[in-house]
Amino acid sequence: MEYTELNNGIKMPTVGIGVFTFTPEEAEKSVEAALKSGYHLVDTANAYVNERGTGRGIKNSGVKREDVFVSTKLWPTEYENENAINETLERLGLDYIDLLFLHQPAGNWRAGYRQLEKAYKDGKIKAIGISNFEGKYLDELLAECEITPQVMQVECHPYFTQVETRKITEPKGIKIMAWYPLGHGDKSLVQEPIFAKLAEKYGKTPAQIILKWHNQMGFIVIPGSRNPEHIKENADIFDFELTDEEMAEIAKLDKGVRYYNGTDEQLASYATWQPDYEKE
| pLDDT, position 1 | 85
pLDDT > 90? residue 260 = no
Angle at 13 between CA 7 and CA 18, to 5 degrees: 115
* DSSP assigned state of 107: S
CA pair distance 142, 46, nearest whole angstrom: 24
Q: What is the pLDDT of residues 240-252, one digit of tens each?
A: 999 999 999 999 9
For residue 185, name the pLDDT band (cuts at 50, 70, 90): confident
Give CA 222 to chain center in angstroms: 5
Q: Mind listing the pLDDT tens digit for each residue in 4-49?
A: 999 999 999 999 999 999 999 999 999 999 999 999 999 999 999 9
pLDDT score at 262: 78
Question: Would you say 152 and 130 are in contact if contact means Cβ atoms under 8 Å apart?
Answer: yes
pLDDT band per the 50, 70, 90 thresholds, residue 184: confident
Per-residue confidence (pLDDT) for residue 189, from 0 to 100: 95
Nearest-angstrom CA–CA distance, 207 and 183: 10
Question: Which has more pLDDT, 28 or 268?
Answer: 28
What does pTM read for this prediction?
0.96
Give the model's pLDDT for residue 75: 98
pLDDT at 3 over 80: yes
Residue 207 CB neighbour total at 10 angstroms: 21
Catalytic residue among 3, 39, 48, 159: 48
Reply yes or no on whether 259 is catalytic.
no
Q: For residues 258 and 58, is the Cβ–Cβ distance under 8 A?
A: no
Residues 26/256, Cβ–Cβ less than 8 Å? no
What average pLDDT does the segment 184-197 reach?
A: 92
Q: What confidence score (pLDDT) does residue 264 get?
A: 83
Adjacency order of strands within the sheet including 220-221: 17-18, 41-43, 69-74, 99-102, 128-131, 151-155, 175-179, 220-221
CA distances (Å), 185 to each of 112, 206, 259, 260, in order? 32, 12, 10, 13
Domains and CATH numbers, the chain: 3-273 (3.20.20.100)
Q: Pairing between strand 3-5 and 11-13?
A: antiparallel
Predicted pLDDT of residue 261: 79
SS3 category, 221: strand
Q: What percent of the chain has pLDDT over 70?
A: 100
Question: Is residue 96 within 8 Å of 69, Cβ to Cβ?
Answer: no
60-105 pLDDT, tens per residue?
999 999 999 999 999 999 999 999 999 999 999 999 999 999 999 9
Residue 57 has pLDDT above 90, yes or no: yes
Q: What CA–CA distance (Å, rounded) separates 231 from 222?
A: 10
CB 39 within 8 A of CB 67: no
Segment 148-167 mean pLDDT? 97
How do strand 17-18 and strand 11-13 relate by DSSP bridges?
A: unpaired
